[in-house]
Amino acid sequence: MSELAGILGVLGLLGAVLGTGLAWADRRLRPDTDSVADAIDALLPQTQCAQCGYPGCRPYADAVAAGAPIDLCPPGGQETIRSLATLLGRKPASAGVGQVEPSAGLNAKDLPAKTLLARIDESRCIGCYRCIQACPVDAIVGAAQLMHTVLADQCTGCELCLDPCPVDCIELVSKPAQENERPLRIIARPRNRDPRSAELPCIRCGKCEAACPEVLIPQELLWYARDAAWDEARDHGLDDCIECGLCNQVCPSNIDLLRHFSRGRLAVKAQEQNRAEAQAAKARFDKHQARMLAREAERESRRRHRLDESGDRPWLR
Amino acid sequence: MGELGLIFVGALVVNNFVLAQFLGLCPFMGVTGQYRPAVAMGLATTFVLTISATTAHVLYNQLLLPLGLDFLRIIVFIVVIAAVVQLTERALRSASPLLHQILGIYLPLITTNCAVLGVALLAIGQTMTFAETVVFSIGAAAGFSLVMALFAALRERLEHARIPRAFEGPPIALVTAGILSLAFMGFTGLAG
């Protein structure tokens, strides 16, 4: 009996002490709800275009902080999705389109949002100044009655300038993708090459072929690589190259084959990523269209229903 | 002093709780995707682990043993750990809500991190003194944080490596964890 009292006493005491401590801590330590949204807001493009479905960037930031998807911002594009994913440690839900609110009203539907860019057909521009007022990032320059043009670096492809244009001379085009400059070296940097000595032409000696541990034909791959014919290069085994650098070591013409091959890898990778992003953008766009159509259909059916109901009561029409 | 140093090194690397005793694997696999959250998780666990282990030691020796209630140790320790975790969560939510959001469910899950309970129970099982318990728990916590940081850095590097498709994601992480554990076996016999 005294043991039971001891158990109850110890647990009760512990509970009381810890509970009081926690209650005090709870009152002292106010949760800070704003700073997450602040950090998110800083990453958004601040175009206030409302294409995400929220009234502006700050409301969208609040929503993301509360758990909304991070890939709803068309002007920000893939870049913003990536930086939000890093900040919040969340995966962009682009693959699982089912749960993602459709975002972009992309006209060029096969292009990822990142690569879109507005272009003014300058021969048709009447210099009305309306697109300049609409542009949230001041990417359009020009003066009244004079031709306008778009600064490619500033344009986010938000398409806010399309509607105000009275002559429809603005269209969205794809921005040329930037090449990644830094090649990835996996195994070895060849030591016996003198970087100062220039590359000589390939003399087809075949030494690289003999050296390659993956039984590839580096000299052949090199021709494709120089022509940027990556599909052919992959057919001839570019993917199997382990980037060991042995071909560089044996080449009597001092050709940096490895650099060509790792560049090629990056190019292939970028190509594939572009394709995947384009597909994700298309999926988002399709979802958006479907939702719009469904909404329209529902509105129409409701209207019909009302007309049917009205009958001899015209005031319902 | 030398004795305490041995205890510290022993808990830090030789009997590392994650890689040698395989305790606390949940955050080890779950939060090590990125370096920053992993280090934060290590620090949060360090805080919880040292405070709860020392508190548990005091409670056990000053309250439970004199009353003959030492069979209550597990439930008492769990209550203490849960309270410290709650305190940590509140503190983090007010100090760094971003970190709080990134760590998410793993933060309250420190409660069920068996390394935390393990340290408290081991310290009592080996009848350590108070000073020894403090050093032991600090060593164990530092070892946990060290492994979290190491593993997160490895996984960030793996993001950029060419991995055979079948091994992408968790498989390569588990293989890496195994190799890291093998490497830690090299510390065997270093201290005690």
A-chain CB neighbours of B63 within 8 Å are 10
**Which residues sit opposite A149 in a β-bridge?**
A141
The model's pLDDT over A258-300, given as tens digits with 9 standing for 90+, comes to 888 888 888 888 888 888 888 888 888 888 888 888 888 988 8
Calculate what percentage of chain A has a pLDDT beyond 90: 3
**Most A-contacting residue of B71, B72, B84, B90 (CB-CB within 10 A), to test interface:** B90
Decide if domain A180-317 falls under CATH 1.10.1060: yes
The model's pLDDT over B79-107, given as tens digits with 9 standing for 90+, comes to 999 999 998 888 888 888 888 877 878 88
A-chain CB neighbours of B106 within 8 Å are none
Question: Is the model's pLDDT at B160 over the cut of 80?
Answer: no
How does residue B178 score in pLDDT terms, banded at 50, 70 and 90? Answer: very high
Over chain B, what is the mean pLDDT? Answer: 88
Query: Which ipTM did the prediction report?
Result: 0.72
As a whole number of angstroms, the distance between CA B57 and CA B125 comes to 11
Question: Is the model's pLDDT at A191 over the cut of 80?
Answer: no
Compare B80 and A147 and report the one with higher pLDDT: B80
Full 3-state SS string of chain B: CHHHHHHHHHHHHHCCCCCCCCCCHHHHHHCCCCHHHHHHHHHHHHHHHHHHHHHHHHHHHHHHHHHCCHHHHHHHHHHHHHHHHHHHHHHHHHHCHHHHHHHHHHCHHHHHCHHHHHHHHHHHHCCCCHHHHHHHHHHHHHHHHHHHHHHHHHHHHHHCCCCCHHHCCHHHHHHHHHHHHHHHHCCCCCCC
How does residue A16 score in pLDDT terms, banded at 50, 70 and 90? Answer: very high
For tokens 């305790």, name the residue: B23
* C-beta separation of A93 from A100 below 8 A: yes
How far A119 CA lies from chain B's nearest CA (Å)? 36
When the candidates are 3.30.70.20, 3.40.190.10, 1.20.1260.10, 3.50.50.60, the CATH number that belongs to A113-174 is 3.30.70.20
Question: Is the model's pLDDT at A194 over the cut of 80?
Answer: no
Question: Is the model's pLDDT at A17 over the cut of 80?
Answer: yes
Calculate what percentage of chain B has a pLDDT beyond 70: 98
Where does residue B66 rank: exposed (0-12), middle (13-18), buried (19+ CB within 10 A)? exposed
How far B10 CA lies from chain A's nearest CA (Å)? 32
What CATH class is the domain A35-99? mainly alpha
Residue A222: CB atoms within 10 Å: 21
How does residue A186 score in pLDDT terms, banded at 50, 70 and 90? Answer: very low
Under an 8 A CB cutoff, do B97 and A32 touch?
yes
C-alpha A33: how far from its chain's center?
Answer: 27
Q: What is the DSSP letter of A240?
A: G
Phi, psi of A118 (to 5 degrees): -80, 145
**Which residues sit opposite A150 in a β-bridge?**
A140
By CA distance, what is A37's nearest residue in B? B98
Residue A169: CB atoms within 10 Å: 19
Question: Is the model's pLDDT at A315 over the cut of 80?
Answer: no
Question: Is the model's pLDDT at A80 over the cut of 80?
Answer: yes
pLDDT at A180: 40
B95–A contact, CB cutoff 8 A:
yes
- Parse chain A into domains and list their residue ranges: 35-99, 113-174, 180-317
pLDDT at B146: 94
The model's pLDDT over A241-262, given as tens digits with 9 standing for 90+, comes to 888 888 888 888 888 888 888 8
pLDDT at A65: 84
As a whole number of angstroms, the distance between CA A137 and CA A290 comes to 30
A-chain CB neighbours of B95 within 8 Å are 32
**Most A-contacting residue of B48, B78, B101 (CB-CB within 10 A), to test interface:** B101
Q: What is the DSSP letter of A114?
A: G
B160–A contact, CB cutoff 8 A:
yes
By CA distance, what is B99's nearest residue in A? A88
| Least trusted range by pLDDT, from A111-120, A128-137, A144-153, A198-207 | A111-120
**Most A-contacting residue of B88, B155, B162, B165 (CB-CB within 10 A), to test interface:** B162
B contact residues 71-90, partner A, Cβ 8 Å cutoff: 72, 75-76, 79-80, 83, 86-87, 90
Question: Is the model's pLDDT at B143 over the cut of 90?
Answer: yes
Calculate what percentage of chain B has a pLDDT beyond 90: 36
What's the half-sphere exposure (Cβ side, CA atoms, 13 Å) at B39?
5
Question: Is the model's pLDDT at A109 over the cut of 50?
Answer: no
The model's pLDDT over A83-105, given as tens digits with 9 standing for 90+, comes to 888 888 776 654 333 333 333 33
A-chain CB neighbours of B37 within 8 Å are 89
How does residue B139 score in pLDDT terms, banded at 50, 70 and 90? Answer: very high
Shortest CB distance from A35 goes to which of B37, B86, B98?
B98
Mean pLDDT on A167-196: 57
How far B36 CA lies from chain A's nearest CA (Å)? 10
Does this chain's domain A35-99 share its CATH topology with A180-317? no
